[in-house]
Each structure stands twice: as structure tokens, then as C-alpha cells.
């Protein structure tokens, strides 16, 4: 077969053809126009079809995979925009696990997928190099660029010295750069994030007060008209968590479960809608008895009498700024003298305007009243009430109603005057709320003819901001009066529904409190769950990168009309075969004395088409055995000096980088084991952003590091391969394996048919696989996890009561006066008495922090009681029925009346009776007695005194001491968690002993340390309820009997009490008295300036605030895998240079041009590949089973 060669020599600076080629050297450029007759056209038709199909199948596979990558990103983008991935949920505890596997699986798949893309693109690029008419340097650069991103950058940099293939190098570097970018962006696509998942849960609710049963209506009505109004003066001390179920003029259902997760619930509510109209009034006359006023319709005069006073007339208030309920008004004509049903009448001397600024026809008074203010008119109003069904939203944790959610609203902001005759007064139904009981609640408390107001009237004036002592009269708004009445009615029914009643007020069982209806509602509880989340930024970047990859792939596809090649790739053996059999080969490369990459690239500008190589002989398959003989060639002296410094430097740098990678993983492993990364805390709202950037930074660092690592190791390994004794096939396999993990796997597979370099290719594959594993583990190193962040902060507290100033008597007087609240405190819920728990006072948080806990200090009152011995009993002659008790051990005596059975009393300290008992302030002790049998924990009695009437009286004298405690409070309700209070003050045993006085004088430096407690207890015994024997028991007596479960109305005999129970009850009593003095206040209208309330000690507490937050988390599995891979990389990197004892030369690589140069300088090897007719990879590998050291080529210049 013939060919023609046309040679055109371009003039350049003259130089010898066999001179050393330096950086500044130049050479002639030879361009060959090859004869197309060299193409192999002898292949049979079937072979042509087979080659055609194989080539196009590779093209189709490459194109399809690139399109598939784009479509995958499009599908991910659609899913991310529609949030389909949010349907994949999991427990929040699995967030880090799911995050790791989501990242690892997506990155692993992407790594394998992109490796396949690179492998196919390499194959197609090699075929294009075979089929293209281009300079050898361009082919050299293309092959070198495909060795990796680092090699591509180095090749692009080499264009500065010889710009032969700038576009081609940019093309390959762009493709591999996009692959590297995908390694960064794909791991950021999927992340695990937490969110509030609202689940529907049915919970029971406590609804509205109702009759216990049909037979209890009268007893319940008695309770409602007797008890709730008595508690009205104290209701202002309850708020927030303490009045659940009450909101302004509305009663709402209360969630019965106190351990619900965060969320919301819709509850039913009932609003009291009050409408008021004016009552026309006519002044009849005024006399010494008072005013006589007839209430009637306007214009009808006195003929239509709606209401008329008794002969004494109305009790007209002598002060402005008051509101009175007219409970004595009767409808004599129409209702047979009974109170108007389902309505109330009230009047005020103040001007009442509606929203239009109009008055409601008040009655003018002549002459004006005198005294401290002048009253010129009275405004009469008649009001009706209707129930409005409502609904609202409550928080499932605080259980408090959200005011703005209440619909429809009954709160009025405007109202216009109408005549009371136009109002509807019929009761909607006969239920507790729907009947006319609401009006009886107020009219049962009749109006007193004095300046004093009833409790409901005081409540109304407090709400309306009226001050009877103010000089300037206030102008009232009609809608404000209606709102105040609405709040009053709802409050009274709420008190009744809570069964708040004083101690032993219903000991005979004549009253039956209403019960709360039980219902249910649906709550939407927020539960923390995890879900997958697609980051749109990551998807957009990946999609854009995939589109660029697709475009670059299309540009690399060989044309359909390109010549058909007999060699499908370019490896070491293929390069030698193609060059040896190519008719247009040039000898200019052989003339290079220093085969550096720069020199060879400059001389390799010969333009040829490698596919035009033609076999000049036959290589039969039966000749494999002969060709497999191992020949040893050693040209020149193999004993060379040590490698130059640059080789050692490269080795040291390579080892250093590998060690650095190991240290990085070792550091991360140490950090992960002690969780130092958990200190990086941020808001839950930032979890997606932080996860994205953590993966981007880690992966970008990894891609750069691993690319540099691969380039250094690859270059060093190939450089060492040149100086090793090995078969040409082994060198060929190693060189091919370094092209990528896909090529490495393919080369390893070829070892099955011809195991020429199993160890070498396995090592390279292991190295590249370890690099791929690092590409998977690096983005999985860091994840974001959500956790409950507990932060300890210091918050303000109000502690135990203290003296307010130097006037201690005024403070004691205040506490003694506020003891009138004592009958109520025992029936309040613990959540309604923050700061008090049994016999302990604890610090109260100034602000509420729902959902949190706080550690607080507490102070327990430890009461210890002993018996008084040597008691003589007699009957006092001056007062019939009085006991005269003498205490021979102390010389004290006391005379008091019979107390009856089942009673415990503080009466021995009541100085209304004759007594010589020491002043409690001096003795710092209290004395009490009980008619019950008292035993201690051993079953012993305490030497009771036997009376002539057969009653045994046990006298006790008690002292107190303090016990410092600590506890944890619910920062939302401010209530103590009972189990957290340590040490406990509650006694479960106690033993009788004879009381002996303490000689030490108590200090009054603080309110609690002195004898104030004994003075206050003594004042209870002398309270108005018991003074002079007008009532049998003092508030203190009632409290103790209530706590001890003593039933004074029981006809049975005396009960048996335990000594420690009495001491516990006294401890609670003392603590309650101090708590009341510090926390309970009278309404403004009932407050007096003669008292000085105690101050609360200012302090602080440690608040354990728990909130959801996110933090970085290091995956120990990913670090461990990365650490193992790093160690493996170091070991393999060192092994690649083992046995490289040959000379160090300018030949430090095996690029396309270096291979040509080496085999041109190994003439003895030419005959090995000369007779290979069918250049398949197998045939060439068999022919290359010749052991040689390539660095010993003839003409090579040694360093």
C-alpha cells in the first residue's frame, strides 16, 4: 500500500537537528498531508457494521446519560418547588442519621454516575483524537488533560509556553471542572430539617357550671347566691394561669390535660351579653326619711308605676362616683311584689352618656344633697342578659384563651340609649346559666343605707374606675357599664364553678356547688418531626452544571463521517503501535535530547491522523507464547546517583499532603468524640442555610484537596514507573488505570484474561476508589441537628416578706387584717397561690416564661409541739360553764368556755378570756388546745387534762424554726413542682415531749426570724369572729380543722389526731398567713392607709430556658471512613514509588509524546510490536510482556 508525503518546511532559526532543546530553542515545524489510501478499507462488511454500531452505541450511551443527568435535576427541581419531598417524614431523633444517609447515598450515586460519564467521555475523546487531523502536541495535551482536573489545569498552564491546544485544554478542564462542581452541589440538594407537625388529638375539657342533678337545683342556687359574691373582693388577686376558664365577660372550656405538647385548640365559650336601658323616673317628694321616687315610662307620669320604694324611700348616696344596685325595687302592680325576674336595676349619681353623647333621662334632685359633694341627679338603668355562644383558640400548654380569637365578640365599644321597656327579659332556658339566677346573684345582696357598698357594687366601681373620695365626678359611658356587668356575671359564675368557698362554710352540706360540664375538643398539637428538604439553590446550580456538561459532551462526540479506527483508545501500547505503523511519523521527536514535557510539546507539532496507521506484518494469535518471553534490557550503566532534590521534594510534599489529610480527619474525629462542634448553635430557621454552606465549604475544600492529591500522586507514580523494571504491559496498565476510576476498573477487569499487573492495577484502583469514598464521606461529615437548648439565665424573683420600714406595728397590723382571706386559701388550687406550698414559702418569678423551669430558693416553717404537763382542772365560779386550767410547771392558767368535741382551737391565746399565759411575742411560741385524742408516732398520748364534764383537753405549746430549701418551679405558671422541693418540710412522724421554753430572745431584725409569727397567730385567736364568744371559732381554728379533716358537726365521738399532722397543719397555717400578707391585696375602695404591707425580698433565680435550636454535628461514621481512607491513601502513595531505583532523567512522565520518544530510543523493542496485525488491547498487552526500564532508553540525558 502506497502513500504520498508532502513536506513543507517552515523557516525558523537555524539549529542542529540533534542539539539539546531548551526552553528558548526552536525547531522546524513539519506538516504532513496524509494519503487517504492509508485508511483500512479491507475490512469485511460485517466487521464494518460491528464497528459502526459499537461506536454509535458508545455515543448514544454517553449522550443518554448526560441527558438523564439533566432530567434528574429537572425532576428534583419540580419536586423541590412543589415540596413533594416533605412527605418523607421521620422522628426528629433520626435527623442526623437521615441526613448522613441522604447525603451519602446521593453523593455515592453521583460519584459513580459522574465517574461513568468521565469514563465514556474519555473514550469518546480518545476516539476523536484518533480520528482528528491535529498536531501531536494537541493529542498529547488532550490525553494528558483527561488524567484528572489537576492534570487538566497543569496542561492549560503549559499552553503559556506552547499554545497548541488552548481550546482543547479549556474544553477538558471545563468538563472536569463541571464534574468537580457537581461533587460540590449534589450533596447540598438533600438535607434533613425539623418542622412543626400538627397532629389532631381529642382531649377532654371542663366546660361551664351546671346543676349537679335535677334535685340539687335549690341547694345549688343557695350556694351561688351566698358564696361567690363573698369572694369578689379577692378575685383581683388572681390572673392569667390562676383564672383559667374566665376571660372578661366570657366563660370558656378549659383543657383537662396539663401535659399537652405545644399547639392550639378550638374551645366553646359562652358570653354574657348585657344590655341596659334607661328607666324614666319621677321625683315625688323629699322629706326626713329620704327621697320618694316613682319609676315609670316617660310621659305616663305616676300612673304606670314600674317600681316604688318603701315608705323610707331610696337610700340616696351622699357621694359622687358610686354605683348602686337597687335590690329593694319591687313591681307592686304586675309581679305581685316580687323582684323583677331576669333583670337588675342599678343607679348612679354620675352622668351616663351613650355613644351619641346623650343622657338617659336621669331624675333631677331638688334640693341638692349636701355633705362633701353635691348630687343633682340619679340615673336609673334596667339591664337584661342574654347568652352568646362563642368559640376561641387556647394554647395547649398555657391553656389560656387568646383574646383576639374569641368570636363573636361581646365586648362593646359603643351603645345607644333605649328605654328599658324595649329590652327582652325572658330567660332563654332553665339551666344554671340560662335561667334568671344571674339577677338573683346581685339582688340577694341588698343595698345598705350607708356609704358602704356591697361586694358586687364595689366590683363595678373598681372596674369603672370610680373613686368615691374624688372631688370631680366622672362621666360614665353606657357601654362601659354594660361591659362591667358582663364581667361581673361571668366572674360570679366562674367562682361558683370552681367551688371556691371558705373553710367549713358548708359543713352541714346544705349547699351544693355547681359542677363543671365535661366535653371534648380537638387540639392541633405541634410535634417536632424531621423531613427531607430539597435546596433549590443546589438544584439550580446542579442543573446549570449538567446543561454545560451536556453541551461539552455534544462537542466531543466524533462526527458520523469520521474515518473508522482500528484502535479504539490510546494507551501506551496503542501509542507505540500507532506510531510505529504510521506512514507519516516524524523523527523530529527522536532528536530531542532532554525529553521534558515542554521540549517534546514544542517538537510535537507534527499534524497527523493517528487512525491512518497500517500494519506491515502479521501477528498471529498462536505467537502469543513466543512473545510472552520476558526480555531484560538495560542500556548503559544502571548505577545512578540519588534522585535530585526536586524528586525528593515532590515525594515529601506528597507524603505531607497525605499526612495533613489524616490529621484533618483525626482532628475531626477528636472533636466529634467530645462533641465540641455542638457549641456552634444557631436558630432553627437557619438550619437549611447552615447545612447548605457546611456541605459546600467541606466539599469544595475536599474537591480541591483531593484533586491536588491525585495529581501529585499520579505524577509521582508515573515518574517512578519510568524508573522501574517492569513489563511494558504492566506500565501500560498502570498508565491506563490512572486515567480515572472507570478506566482503572476496566483495566482491572482486563487482568482476568491476562494477569500481567494485578497488584499494580489493584493498588491504583484502590487509591482512586479511596478518593471516591472521600468524595462521598466529606459532604457527610457535617450535618445539622435540632435539639432542646437549655440555657441558664438569671431572672428576677420576689422572695419572702420583709419589714417595709421601721414601723413594724403597721406591717403586723396589715398582715393581721389580711388574715380575713385565710378561710379561702385552703380551697384554692396550687396554681392560684404561687409562692406557697404547704408549709413552705418559695421565691416567685416576676415574669412568666411558659414552657420553662427555674431553680428557686425556699424557706420552710418547721413547727415543733410539746405537751404542757401538771394540769389541774376546776370550774370557775364567776362564769358558769368555764374551765379553769392551771399549768403547774409554768404557773400559768386560763379560763375559757367549753369548745365541744372534734375541735382544735387557738382560744387559749384569746385575751378576752381570763388568762395568765405568757405573751406569744415574748415567749416566741403559741398555745392551742384540742378536744380530740392526740397520739404521736409511737401511739402515746400527750398527758391530756381531764375535765369534770368528762372531756379530755390536750394543750400544746409550739415553737418554730426555719428549714432552707431548694426547688424547681414551672416558669409558666410560677408554681412549684412538688417533687423537686428538698429537703421536705412535711413530717410523717413525731414523738411527744414535754415543752420547755427557749431562753434565747428571738431577733426581730427580719419579719420571719422574730416573734412576729406568734403575734400574728395570737391575733387570730382574738379576731372579731371569736372575740366575746360571738362565734365559736376563729379563722385560724377553721383553717386547722379544715386541714385536719375535723367535722365539728359530726355527732360521733372525738376523732384521733396524730401529732405530726397537727405540726404540719400549723406549718401550713403560718406559711399561709405570711403569704397572704405578702401577696393578697384588698380592692382599692376597701384599702386603708393605716396599714403598711410587707415588702418582698428582691432576688434572682436560675432559669432553665429550653428552646428548640440547631447545631452542627460531626458524623463519626463519615469521619471514621474518611480517616481509614486517608491512611489507605498514604500507604498506597508510598507503595507507588517502591522499586523505583533507576536513574533520574528528564523523562519524568509518560505522556503521548514521551511514549513516542521512549520507544524511538528503544530500537530493540520495535520488533516486539512490529508484527501485531490486529491491534486489539489483548494482543498489544500480550506483545508488551517484555520487562524493561524505560528510563534506560538510548540517548536519554541523565540528571
pLDDT digits (tens, 9 = 90+) for 264-318: 899 999 999 999 999 888 777 766 656 677 776 433 333 333 333 333 344 445 5
**Are 96 and 236 within one domain?**
no
Q: Is the pLDDT of residue 1147 over 70?
A: no
Of 390-404, 547-561, 782-796, give the range with the top mean pLDDT.
390-404
CA distances from residue 182 to 71, 114, 638 in whole angstroms, order as listed: 15, 8, 47
pLDDT of residue 453: 76
User: 746 is written with which cell numbers?
Assistant: 476496566
Q: Is the pLDDT of residue 609 over 70?
A: no
pLDDT of residue 398: 85
Q: Is the pLDDT of residue 1193 over 60?
A: no
Q: Who's near 183: CB < 8 A, 6+ residues apart?
A: 107, 110, 111, 114, 699, 702, 703, 775
Note the pLDDT tens digit of each residue in 349-361.
Answer: 899 999 999 999 8
**Are 421 and 381 within one domain?**
yes
Q: Please, what's the b/e burial string for 254-277 (b: 16 or more CB within 10 A of its CB; e: otherwise)?
A: bbbeeebebbbbebbbbbbbbbbb
Find the mean pLDDT for residues 770-786.
Answer: 90
**Are 950 and 1006 within one domain?**
yes
pLDDT of residue 41: 40
Q: Is the pLDDT of residue 632 over 50?
A: no
Note the pLDDT tens digit of each residue in 918-942.
Answer: 778 778 889 898 988 999 999 999 8
Q: Is the pLDDT of residue 663 over 70?
A: yes
Residue 462 lies in a domain: yes
Of 218-222, 370-374, 1100-1104, 1190-1194, give the range with the top mean pLDDT.
218-222
Question: Strand 933-935 vs strand 1056-1058: parallel, antiparallel, or unpaired?
Answer: parallel
Residue bearing the bigger pLDDT, 256 or 899:
256
**Are 951 and 1085 within one domain?**
yes
Q: Is the pLDDT of residue 3 over 50?
A: no
Cell 512522565 belongs to residue: 1149
**Are 337 and 486 within one domain?**
yes
Residue 977 lies in a domain: no
Among 787, 1112, 1115, which residue's Cα sits nearest to residue 103?
1115
Kindly state the helix (H) or strand (E) to which residue 727 belongs, with its residue range: strand 726-727
The model carries a pTM of 0.70
Residue 701 lies in a domain: no
Residue 869 sits at the vertex; the CA angle it makes with 863 and 872, to the nearest 5 degrees, is: 130
pLDDT bucket at 666, cuts 50 / 70 / 90 = very high
Find out whether 1189 and 762 touch, Cβ atoms under 8 Å. Answer: no
Coil vs helix vs strand at 641:
coil
pLDDT of residue 372: 46
**Are 495 and 560 within one domain?**
no
Residue 287 lies in a domain: yes
pLDDT bucket at 1166, cuts 50 / 70 / 90 = low
Residue 1038 lies in a domain: yes
The domain boundary residue, chosen from 1055, 1074, 1097: 1097
Tally of domains in the chain: 3
Q: Who's near 330: CB < 8 A, 6+ residues apart?
A: 307, 308, 337, 338, 339
Note the pLDDT tens digit of each residue in 807-826.
Answer: 788 888 888 888 888 888 88
**Largest separation between any pair of C-alpha atoms in the chain:** 159
Assign 3-class secondary structure to 728-776.
HHHHHHHHHHCCCHHHHHHHHHHCCCCCCCHHHHHHHHHHHHHHHHHHH
Q: Is the pLDDT of residue 1003 over 70?
A: no
Query: Alpha-carbon distance 953 to 313, whole Å?
Result: 54
Cell 530553542 belongs to residue: 25
Residue 1017 lies in a domain: yes
CA distances from residue 256 to 433, 480, 748, 787 in whole angstroms, order as listed: 21, 33, 71, 28
Question: Strand 190-210 vs strand 681-682: parallel, antiparallel, or unpaired?
Answer: unpaired
**Are 549 and 432 within one domain?**
no
Residue 705 lies in a domain: no
**Are 454 and 547 within one domain?**
no
Query: Alpha-carbon distance 925 to 995, whole Å?
Result: 10
DSSP string for residues in 14-39: ---TTS---TT-----EEE---GGGS
Which of 4-18, 66-80, 1147-1161 is the least confident region?
4-18
pLDDT of residue 631: 35
Query: Alpha-carbon distance 135 to 137, whole Å?
Result: 5
User: 686 is written with which cell numbers?
Assistant: 437557619
Percent of the chain past pLDDT 90, that is, above it, reads 26
**Are 450 and 550 within one domain?**
no
The parent domain of residue 459 ranges over 221-253+270-392+406-510
Angle 166-185/95-131 helices, nearest 10 degrees? Answer: 160
The domain boundary residue, chosen from 1075, 1097, 1119: 1097
User: 597 is written with which cell numbers?
Assistant: 514535557
**Are 352 and 494 within one domain?**
yes
Note the pLDDT tens digit of each residue in 33-79.
Answer: 333 333 344 445 555 555 556 557 778 888 899 999 999 999 999 99
1028 CA to centre of own chain: 63
Residue 297 lies in a domain: yes
**Are 59 and 184 within one domain?**
yes
**Are 873 and 929 within one domain?**
yes
Q: For the chain, give me the number of helices (H) and strands (E)?
A: 29, 38
Amino acid at each position: 500500500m502506497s502513500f504520498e508525503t508532502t513536506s513543507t518546511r517552515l523557516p525558523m532559526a537555524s539549529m542542529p537537528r540533534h542539539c539539546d532543546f531548551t526552553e528558548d530553542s526552536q525547531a522546524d515545524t513539519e506538516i504532513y498531508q496524509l494519503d487517504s489510501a492509508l485508511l483500512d478499507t479491507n475490512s469485511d462488511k460485517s466487521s464494518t457494521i460491528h464497528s459502526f454500531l459499537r461506536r454509535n452505541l458508545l455515543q448514544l450511551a454517553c449522550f443518554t446519560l448526560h441527558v438523564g443527568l439533566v432530567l434528574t435535576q429537572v425532576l428534583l427541581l419540580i419536586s423541590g418547588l412543589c415540596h413533594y419531598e416533605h412527605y418523607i417524614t421521620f422522628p426528629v431523633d433520626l435527623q442526623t442519621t437521615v441526613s448522613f444517609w441522604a447525603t451519602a447515598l446521593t453523593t455515592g450515586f453521583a460519584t459513580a454516575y459522574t465517574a461513568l460519564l468521565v469514563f465514556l467521555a474519555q473514550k469518546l475523546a480518545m476516539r476523536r483524537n484518533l480520528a482528528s487531523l491535529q498536531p501531536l502536541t494537541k493529542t498529547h495535551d488532550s490525553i494528558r488533560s483527561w488524567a484528572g482536573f489537576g492534570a487538566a489545569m497543569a496542561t492549560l498552564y503549559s499552553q503559556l509556553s506552547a499554545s497548541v491546544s488552548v481550546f482543547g485544554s479549556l474544553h477538558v478542564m471545563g468538563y472536569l471542572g463541571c464534574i468537580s462542581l457537581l461533587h460540590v452541589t449534589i450533596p447540598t440538594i438533600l438535607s434533613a430539617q425539623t418542622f412543626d407537625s400538627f397532629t389532631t388529638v381529642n382531649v377532654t375539657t371542663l366546660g361551664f357550671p351546671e346543676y349537679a342533678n335535677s334535685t340539687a337545683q335549690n341547694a345549688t342556687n343557695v350556694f351561688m347566691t351566698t358564696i361567690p359574691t363573698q369572694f369578689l373582693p379577692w378575685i383581683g388577686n388572681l390572673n392569667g394561669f390562676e383564672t383559667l376558664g374566665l376571660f372578661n365577660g366570657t366563660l370558656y372550656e378549659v383543657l383537662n390535660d396539663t401535659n399537652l405538647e405545644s399547639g392550639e385548640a378550638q374551645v366553646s365559650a359562652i358570653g354574657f351579653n348585657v344590655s341596659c336601658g334607661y328607666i324614666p323616673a319621677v321625683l315625688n317628694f323629699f322629706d326626713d326619711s329620704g327621697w320618694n321616687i316613682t319609676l315609670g315610662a316617660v310621659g305616663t307620669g305616676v300612673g304606670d308605676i314600674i317600681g316604688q320604694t318603701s315608705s323610707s324611700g331610696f337610700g340616696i348616696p351622699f357621694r359622687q362616683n358610686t354605683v348602686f344596685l337597687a335590690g329593694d325595687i319591687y313591681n307592686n302592680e304586675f309581679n305581685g311584689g316580687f323582684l323583677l325576674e331576669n333583670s337588675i336595676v342599678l343607679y348612679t349619681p354620675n352622668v351616663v352618656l351613650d355613644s351619641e353623647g346623650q343622657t338617659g333621662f336621669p331624675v333631677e334632685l331638688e334640693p341638692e344633697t349636701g355633705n362633701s359633694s353635691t348630687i343633682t341627679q340619679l340615673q336609673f338603668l334596667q339591664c337584661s342578659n342574654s347568652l352568646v355562644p362563642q368559640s376561641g383558640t387556647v394554647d395547649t400548654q398555657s391553656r389560656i384563651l387568646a383574646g383576639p380569637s374569641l368570636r363573636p365578640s361581646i365586648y362593646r365599644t359603643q351603645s345607644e340609649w333605649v328605654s328599658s321597656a324595649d329590652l327582652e327579659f325572658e330567660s332563654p332556658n332553665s339551666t344554671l346559666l340560662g335561667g334568671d339566677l344571674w339577677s338573683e346573684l346581685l339582688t340577694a345582696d341588698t343595698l345598705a343605707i350607708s356609704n358602704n357598698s356591697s361586694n358586687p357594687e364595689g366590683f363595678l366601681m373598681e372596674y369603672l374606675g370610680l373613686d368615691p373620695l374624688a372631688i370631680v365626678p366622672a362621666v360614665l359611658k353606657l357601654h362601659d357599664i354594660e361591659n362591667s356587668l358582663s364581667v361581673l356575671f361571668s366572674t360570679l359564675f366562674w367562682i361558683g364553678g370552681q367551688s371556691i368557698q371558705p373553710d367549713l362554710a358548708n359543713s352541714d352540706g346544705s349547699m351544693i356547688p355547681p359542677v363543671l360540664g365535661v366535653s371534648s375538643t380537638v387540639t392541633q398539637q405541634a410535634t417536632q418531626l424531621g423531613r427531607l428538604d430539597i435546596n433549590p439553590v443546589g438544584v439550580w446550580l446542579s442543573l446549570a452544571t449538567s446543561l454545560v456538561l451536556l453541551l461539552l459532551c455534544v462537542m466531543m462526540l466524533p462526527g458520523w463521517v469520521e474515518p473508522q479506527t482500528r484502535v479504539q483508545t490510546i494507551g501506551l501500547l496503542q501509542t507505540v503501535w500507532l506510531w510505529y505503523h504510521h506512514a507519516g511519523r516524524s523523527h523530529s521527536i527522536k532528536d530531542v535530547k532532554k525529553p521534558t514535557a515542554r521540549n517534546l510539546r514544542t517538537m510535537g507539532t507534527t499534524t497527523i491522523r493517528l487512525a491512518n496507521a497500517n500494519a506491515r506484518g502479521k501477528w498471529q494469535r498462536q505467537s502469543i507464547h513466543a512473545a510472552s518471553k520476558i526480555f531484560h534490557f538495560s542500556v548503559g550503566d544502571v548505577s545512578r546517583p540519588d534522585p535530585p532534590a526536586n524528586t525528593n521534594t515532590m515525594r515529601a510534599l506528597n507524603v505531607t499532603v497525605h499526612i495533613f489529610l489524616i490529621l484533618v480527619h483525626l482532628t475531626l474525629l477528636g472533636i466529634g468524640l467530645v462533641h465540641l462542634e455542638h457549641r456552634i448553635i444557631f436558630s432553627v430557621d437557619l438550619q437549611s442555610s447552615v447545612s447548605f454552606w457546611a456541605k459546600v465549604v467541606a466539599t469544595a475544600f475536599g474537591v480541591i484537596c483531593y484533586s491536588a492529591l491525585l495529581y501529585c500522586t499520579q505524577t509521582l507514580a508515573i515518574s517512578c514507573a519510568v524508573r522501574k523494571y517492569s513489563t511494558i504491559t504492566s506500565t501500560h496498565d498502570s498508565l491506563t488505570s490512572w486515567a480515572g476510576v472507570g478506566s482503572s476498573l476496566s483495566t482491572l477487569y482486563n487482568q482476568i484474561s491476562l494477569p500481567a499487573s494485578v497488584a499494580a492495577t489493584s493498588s491504583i484502583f484502590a487509591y482512586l476508589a479511596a478518593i471516591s469514598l472521600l468524595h462521598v464521606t466529606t459532604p457527610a461529615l457535617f450535618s445539622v441537628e435540632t435539639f432542646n437548648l437549655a440555657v441558664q439565665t438569671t431572672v428576677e424573683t420576689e422572695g419572702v416578706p420583709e419589714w417595709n420600714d421601721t414601723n413594724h406595728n403597721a406591717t403586723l397590723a396589715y398582715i393581721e387584717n389580711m388574715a380575713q382571706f385565710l378561710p379561702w386559701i385552703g380551697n384554692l388550687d396550687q396554681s392560684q397561690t404561687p409562692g406557697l406550698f404547704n408549709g413552705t414559702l418559695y421565691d416567685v418569678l416576676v415574669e412568666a416564661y411558659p414552657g420553662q423551669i427555674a431553680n428557686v430558693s425556699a424557706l420552710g416553717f418547721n413547727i415543733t409541739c410539746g405537751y404542757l404537763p401538771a394540769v389541774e382542772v376546776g370550774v370557775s365560779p364567776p362564769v358558769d360553764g368555764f374551765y379553769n386550767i392551771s399549768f403547774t410547771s409554768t404557773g400559768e392558767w386560763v379560763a375559757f368556755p367549753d369548745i365541744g368535741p372534734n375541735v382544735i382551737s387557738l382560744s387559749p391565746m384569746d385575751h378576752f378570756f381570763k388568762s395568765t399565759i405568757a405573751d406569744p411575742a415574748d415567749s416566741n411560741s403559741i398555745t392551742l388546745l384540742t378536744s380530740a385524742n392526740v397520739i404521736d408516732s409511737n401511739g402515746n398520748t400527750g398527758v391530756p387534762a381531764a375535765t369534770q364534764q368528762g372531756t379530755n383537753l390536750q394543750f400544746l405549746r409550739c415553737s418554730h424554726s426555719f428549714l432552707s430549701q431548694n426547688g424547681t418551679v414551672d416558669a409558666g405558671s410560677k408554681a412549684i413542682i412538688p417533687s423537686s422541693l428538698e429537703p421536705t418540710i412535711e413530717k410523717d412522724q413525731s414523738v411527744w415531749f414535754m415543752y420547755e421554753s427557749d431562753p434565747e430572745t428571738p431577733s426581730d431584725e427580719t419579719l420571719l426570724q422574730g416573734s412576729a409569727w406568734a403575734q400574728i397567730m395570737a391575733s387570730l385567736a382574738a379576731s372579731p369572729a371569736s372575740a366575746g364568744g360571738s362565734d365559736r371559732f376563729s379563722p385560724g381554728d377553721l383553717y386547722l380543722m379544715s386541714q385536719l379533716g375535723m367535722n365539728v358537726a359530726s355527732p360521733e365521738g372525738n376523732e384521733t389526731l396524730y401529732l405530726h399532722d397537727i405540726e404540719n397543719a400549723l406549718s401550713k397555717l403560718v406559711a399561709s398567713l405570711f403569704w397572704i400578707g405578702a401577696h393578697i391585696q384588698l380592692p382599692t375602695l376597701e384599702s386603708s392607709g393605716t396599714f403598711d404591707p410587707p415588702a418582698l425580698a428582691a432576688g434572682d433565680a436560675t432559669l432553665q430556658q429550653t428552646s428548640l435550636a440547631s447545631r452542627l454535628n460531626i458524623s463519626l461514621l463519615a469521619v471514621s471512613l474518611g480517616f481509614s481512607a486517608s491512611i489507605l491513601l498514604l500507604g498506597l502513595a508510598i507503595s507507588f514509588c517502591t522499586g523505583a531505583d533507576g536513574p533520574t532523567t528528564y523523562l519524568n512522565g509518560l505522556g503521548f509524546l514521551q511514549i513516542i520518544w521512549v520507544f524511538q530510543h528503544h530500537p530493540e523493542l520495535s520488533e516486539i510490536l512490529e508484527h501485531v496485525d490486529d491491534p486489539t488491547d489483548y494482543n498489544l498487552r500480550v506483545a508488551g510482556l517484555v520487562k524493561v526500564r524505560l528510563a534506560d532508553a538510548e540517548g536519554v540525558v541523565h540528571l
